[in-house]
Amino acid sequence: MSAVHNVGDSVAETCSEPLIGGSGADSPTLWTRAWRQTARAAGAVRWYVTSLMGDSAYATYVAHQRRHHPDAPPVTERQFWRDRMDDQDRNPGARCC
């Protein structure tokens, strides 16, 4: 059941959570929560773009090597990218150019 509010009621009296200040030291404000959500969304976008562009490919390769081939040393990052570009040139796949 909804509460009936008088026209003179302020926003702070009608909301269950404070808008600008917290009720205690550990109570995050609306702005703090909004900032955290924005930062989290920005981090997700950054992860997506870097994954899409392949920026984390060498780190993924090294993790795979350590997990599945611990006795074989991983190639250097420079050699990894050189091999990857050579492979893309030999097998263009769905690339346009």
The 10s digit of each residue's pLDDT in 22-59 is: 555 566 799 999 999 999 999 999 999 988 888 889 99
On the question of pLDDT at 67 being above 80, the answer is yes
Decide: pTM greater than 0.75.
no
Instruction: Look over the chain and give the mean of its residue pLDDT values, rounded to a whole number.
Output: 79
DSSP letters, the chain, are -PPP--TT--HHHH-SS-SSS-SSTT---HHHHHHHHHHHHHHHHHHHHHHHHTTTHHHHHHHHHHHH-TTSPPPPHHHHHHHHHHHHHH--TT---
